[in-house]
Structure 1
Amino acid sequence: MKKMSAHKEKQHIGGKLSTGRLLWRFPIIWMIVGTIGIILVDTLFRPLAEQAKGVASLLLTLTAVIVAIMVFRLTMKYLARRSIPEISRKRAGIEAGMGLLTGAIFITVSTLIIVAAGGYSFQWASTADTGSVLISSITTALNAAIIEELIFRGLMFQAINKLAGNWLALAVTSLFFGAAHLGNTGATLWSAFAITIEAGILLGAAFLWRRNLWFPMGLHFAWNALEGLLGIPVSGHSTAGLFTVKVNGAAILTGGDFGLEGSIVPVMVSLLIVIPMLIGAARNRVR
Structure 2
Amino acid sequence: MSTTQHAVPVSPVPASLGARAARQPVVRILLATLAMVLPVAAVLVFANVVLEKSMRVAWPQLLAAALCVLGYRYYVAKIERRVPDELSSDGAARETSVGLAWGTALSLGVIGALAAAGAFQVVGNNSWTVIFKPVAELVLVAVFEELLFRAVLLRILQVALGTRWALALSSLLFALAHFPNDGVSALGLVITVAAGVMFGAAYLKTGRIWLAAGLHFAWNFITGTVFSLPVSGGAAKGWIIGRLSGPEWLSGGNYGIEASAVTLLAVIAVAILLRPARTPAKAA
Deviation at 1:65, TM superposition (A): 0.7
Task: Name the residue aligned to 2:128.
Answer: 130
1:250 maps to 247
Which secondary structure does the structure 1 equivalent of 2:122 belong to?
Answer: strand
Paired residue type of 2:73: R
Deviation string 1:10-59 (CA, Å, 9 cap, x unpaired) is 968x4253x43232132221111111222223322335566765795222
Q: Distance in 1 between matches of 2:81 and 2:155?
A: 13
Aligned to 1:76: 76
Q: 1:178 aligns with which of 156, 175, 179?
A: 175
Count of aligned pairs: 270
Aligned amino acid, residue 37 of structure 2: I
Structure 1's consecutive aligned runs of 4 or more residues displaced over 6 angstroms after TM superposition are none
- Give CA deviations for 1:185-225 in whole Å, capped at 9, x if unaligned: 0012221111111x111101111112110110111011111
Match of 1:162 in 2: 159
Letter in 1 for 2:277: A
Moved more, 162-171 or 24-33: 24-33
Instruction: Please list every run of 5 or more consecutive structure 1 residues that lacks an aligned counterpart in the other structure.
Output: 1-6
> Counterparts of 1:270 and 1:16 in 2: how far apart (Å)?
45
CA contact (8 A) 1:207 1:215 kept: yes
Identity of aligned residues (%): 26
Question: 1:106 is matched with which residue?
Answer: 106
Distance 1:35 1:157 in 2: 13
Amino acid at match of 2:228: G
Given candidates 7, 12, 21, the residue that maps to 1:23 is: 21
CA deviation after TM superposition for structure 1 residue 81, in Å:
2.5
Q: For the Cα contact (< 8 Å) 1:227–1:233, is it kept in 2?
A: yes
Which of 190, 194, 209 is 2:191 aligned to? 194
Give the 3-state SS of the residue equivalent to 1:57 in structure 2. coil
Question: CA 1:188 to 1:47, structure 2 compared with 1: closer, same or farther past 3 Å?
Answer: farther
Give TM-score, length-normalised by structure 2.
0.88
**In 2, are the aligned partners of 1:54 and 1:136 still within 8 Å (CA)?**
no
**For the Cα contact (< 8 Å) 2:201–2:274, is it kept in 1?**
yes
SS at match of 1:136: coil
- Bigger mean CA offset, 258-267 vs 55-64: 55-64
Residue identity opposite 2:153 in structure 1: M
Alpha-carbon spacing, 1:116–1:176, altered in 2? closer, same or farther (3 Å): same
What corresponds to 2:34 in structure 1?
36
Aligned partner letter, 1:282: A
Partner of 1:151: 148
Gap regions ≥5 residues in structure 2:
1-7
Give me the whole-angstrom Cα distance separating, in 2, the residues matched to 1:107 and 1:176. Answer: 23
Between Structure 1 and Structure 2, the one with more helix by share is 1
- Equivalent residue of 1:183, what SS? coil
TM-score relative to the length of structure 1: 0.87
Distance of 1:234 and 1:113 partners within structure 2: 18
Specify the alignment match of 2:277 in structure 1: 282
Match of 2:219 among 214, 219, 223: 223
Question: Partner amino acid for 1:261?
Answer: E
Q: Which residue is 2:5 aligned to?
A: none
1:89 Cα deviation from its structure 2 partner: 1.1
Distance of 1:23 and 1:245 partners within structure 2: 51
Q: Is the 8 A contact 2:107 2:223 kept in 1?
A: yes
